[in-house]
């Protein structure tokens, strides 16, 4: 039995290629069905997020699952991407290295944002989708359950995932939440439709925001982001009306000049009737005139304000990384020990079957020679035989368990097969 994975993340795969390799839920289901047809008998789970694409495979047979390079080619074929391009950026691992990689991924230790909480849910969703597609089995089942257990330990035993790290997450969780106790009744205006805007919108959704409008110079981009993340679009040309209605503004444009000047805001402020306004200006150069922050009832935070908090959180979180990696190593050794022990099950079953069969033969012979034994006496003798067999089998079984913790007990298994004349 063995495990393998192939894939890449934001660290190794350019975004232009990640976009081509990305799988929607429907496309992932189709790919898993295709995998089952192309590699019968192997288990598979496909993990596709905005920052990574990875295919995990397992097989209990001696032949093992497809190797990483073959898995990478499979991903390329499914998405119609030139395999030569994929081969240069998609890596892979087998065995222990593959297990440790998945555990790090689930715990957020391989994420763009160290310890991000979203990834563990994405890992769980990938596993559930594979279950529905019928491509899972005992190996991937134990693997992904162990990955979720490792992630939970990292979360509960370290501070890696307890503090916000990305600028958008800090903007929402530290700054906006410092003014508003709740977001479900607030009107949010998002100015811009790029990557920063999309990430911020996801954090706002997690915080409970429901009424979100997106405006952008490119109406098409605004519509695209709104459709993907279930928001509405507004009128960029009527930005004063949009500002007048908003409670929270997040601005992430690439404009070279302020989008909202002091004069524009002063005209808007009269329409707001004293309602408080939080502005998270995540743009460089800034989208809002800094003097707007001095207006009554306005909380204006720039990228510098957020960056300082982000750096502080990052330094505190990095101190927890060694402890998190120690947990991953412990859980990896635990899983690999369990998996290696699984390989001993056929030998153990053969040993037990052989001893039981021999014992039954000898008991039948004994009982024929002692026909006057009552049922109670026969049962007592039978139990004594079973206890004797169990005690005799205990040392080799204990040795197998001990050897499994250090690695595949191939040598001991072969020795037992030869000593007891066991077949493959």
User: In terms of DSSP H, where are the helices of 55-194?
Assistant: 68-79, 83-89, 96-106, 118-133, 138-157, 167-170
- 212 Cβ partners below 8 Å, 6+ apart? 188, 189, 190, 201, 204, 205, 231, 232
Provide the token pair at 297. Answer: 């009832």
Q: Which residue has 């040993």 as its token pair? A: 351
Compute CA distances 217 → 191, 234, 240, 259, whole Å: 9, 11, 14, 11
CB 258 within 8 A of CB 289: yes
Compute CA distances 195 → 4, 155, 226, 282, 383, whole Å: 32, 27, 13, 12, 70
CB 288 within 8 A of CB 259: yes
CB 280 within 8 A of CB 167: no
Provide the token pair at 399. Answer: 């040795």
Provide the token pair at 287. Answer: 């989208």
Instruction: Tell me the β-bridge partners of 103.
Output: none
Radius of gyration of the chain (CA): 30
Distance CA 355, CA 391 (A): 11
> Minimal CA–CA distance to 44: which of 92, 5, 101, 90?
5
Task: Provide the pairing of β-strand 2-9 with 91-94.
Answer: antiparallel
Distance CA 74, CA 380 (A): 60
Verify whether residue 78 is a known catalytic residue: no
Provide the token pair at 370. Answer: 């002692």
- 110 Cβ partners below 8 Å, 6+ apart? 9, 11, 52, 101, 104
CB 377 within 8 A of CB 362: no
Characterise 396 by phi-psi region: left (phi > 0), alpha (psi -120 to 50), beta (else). Answer: alpha
Provide the token pair at 332. Answer: 């990896």
Task: Provide the pairing of β-strand 91-94 with 232-233.
Answer: unpaired
Residues annotated as part of the active site? 50
């Amino acid at each position: 039995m063995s495990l393998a994975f192939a894939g890449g993340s934001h660290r190794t795969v350019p975004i232009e290629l990640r976009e081509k390799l990305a799988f929607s839920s429907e496309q992932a289901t189709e790919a898993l069905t295709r995998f089952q047809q192309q590699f019968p008998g192997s288990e598979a789970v496909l993990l596709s997020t905005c920052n990574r694409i990875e295919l995990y495979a397992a097989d209990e047979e001696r032949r093992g699952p497809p190797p990483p390079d073959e898995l990478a080619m499979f991903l390329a074929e499914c998405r119609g991407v030139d395999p030569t391009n994929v081969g240069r950026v998609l890596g892979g691992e087998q065995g222990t290295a593959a297990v440790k990689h998945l555990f790090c991924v689930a715990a957020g230790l391989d994420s763009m944002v160290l310890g991000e909480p979203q990834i563990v849910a994405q890992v769980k969703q990938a596993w559930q989708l594979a279950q529905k597609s019928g491509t899972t089995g005992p190996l991937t089942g134990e693997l992904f359950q162990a990955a979720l257990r490792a992630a939970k330990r990292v979360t509960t035993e370290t501070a890696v995932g307890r503090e916000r790290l990305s600028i958008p997450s800090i903007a929402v969780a530290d700054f906006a939440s410092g003014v508003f106790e709740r977001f479900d009744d607030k009107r949010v205006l998002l100015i811009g439709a790029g990557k920063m805007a999309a990430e911020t919108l996801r954090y706002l959704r997690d915080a409970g925001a429901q009424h979100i409008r997106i405006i952008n110079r490119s109406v098409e981009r605004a519509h695209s982001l709104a459709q993907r993340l279930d928001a509405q679009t507004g009128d960029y040309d009527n930005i004063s009306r949009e500002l007048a209605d908003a409670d929270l503004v997040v601005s992430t444009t690439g404009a070279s000049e302020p989008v909202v000047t002091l004069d524009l805001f002063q005209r808007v402020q009269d329409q707001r009737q004293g309602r408080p306004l939080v502005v998270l200006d995540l743009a460089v150069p800034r989208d809002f005139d800094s003097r707007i922050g001095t207006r009554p009832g306005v909380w204006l935070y720039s990228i510098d304000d957020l960056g300082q908090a982000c750096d502080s959180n990052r330094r505190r979180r990095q101190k927890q990384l060694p402890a998190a990696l120690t947990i991953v190593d412990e859980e990896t050794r635990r899983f690999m020990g369990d998996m290696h022990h699984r390989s001993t099950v056929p030998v153990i079953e053969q040993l037990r079957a052989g001893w039981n069969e021999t014992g039954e033969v000898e008991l039948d012979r004994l009982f024929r020679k002692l026909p006057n034994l009552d049922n109670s006496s026969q049962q007592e003798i039978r139990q004594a035989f079973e206890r004797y067999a169990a005690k005799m089998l205990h040392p080799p079984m204990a040795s197998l368990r001990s050897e499994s913790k250090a690695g595949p007990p191939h040598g001991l298994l072969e020795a037992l097969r030869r000593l007891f004349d066991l077949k493959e």
